[in-house]
Amino acid sequence: MPDKQKMKGMVAIVTGASRGIGRAIAIEYGRQGAVVVAASRAASPTGLPGTAEQTAYQIASLGGKALAVHCDVTDEKQVKSMVDEVMAKYGKIDVLVNNAGLIIVGDKFLDIEPARWDKLMAINIRGPYLCCRYVAQVMVKQKRGSIINVGSRMGADPTTGGGTAYSASKAALHMLSFTLAEELREHNVAVNIYSPGSVKTEGAWLNEWNHKNWDSRYEPEASGPCAVYLALQSAESLTGRYLHRDDFGKKWGPAELIQKPA
């Protein structure tokens, strides 16, 4: 563990923490001293490896503290139960990372059946809505907190490709974040969008559309420092922003990392 832990004493919920970006963020939060609530479904419906318990175990093996929680973010009762459990155990929630998501990229609009569309929207929009709804209640009472919604360049720029379903869901998440940031500003709760760029995750590999730029993609661990920085923000310091991984250390991030113009 580092000598100067930036998140010591904080409690952070990370959804979709069983693999990929969520797992990497959860582990980095643990390294930085946070109590990490690693949330995910009990098992991947597509059979992908990784569980919340494995993420929590790795955090503990590194000397950190973690709690594994099974939670389907589209189920209101499960989300409420997760928040109630965290509050009962720790009495506060400092950070929420809405990372759980589903990807449909490369498919033509007319080839996406309504059932697939609805499932994607449930996970990518209803999930963050429910998590924000229950966690924001806690943060408003605390008068502090940071909500980080994992967005995408595909939700901000239609020329990047990807397709209607995923792009539409992320655009909706972005607007949810912008407007929620304004609503929660008076309560000192930050809400920001973190766009990780193209990442080498197990889920991404399942779709051949992602293979074309695989070698140039980031490792999931590249998101760790970005997510730590955002976890430390309040409405007074940074809120209502769309922040891309490529700009970390250039246009945003710790002052000592920002590149000064020559």
Catalytic residues: 166
CA distance 137 to 86: 13
| 182 HSE (CA, 13 A, CB side) | 5
For residues 47 and 40, the answer to whether their CB atoms sit within 8 Å is no
CA distance 240 to 249: 19
Beta bridge partners of residue 248, listed in sequence order: 252
Name 4's Cβ contacts closer than 8 Å, sequence gap at least 6: none
CA distance 144 to 138: 9
| 201 HSE (CA, 13 A, CB side) | 26
For the chain, the first-to-last Cα distance in angstroms comes to 36
Q: Give the distance, in angstroms, between the CA of residue 192 and the centroid of all CA atoms in the same chain.
A: 10
DSSP character for 236? T
- E runs forming strands in the chain: 11-15, 35-40, 65-70, 95-98, 145-150, 189-195, 242-244
Beta bridge partners of residue 190, listed in sequence order: 146
CA distance 142 to 246: 32
Choose among 139, 97, 44: nearest CA to 223. Answer: 97
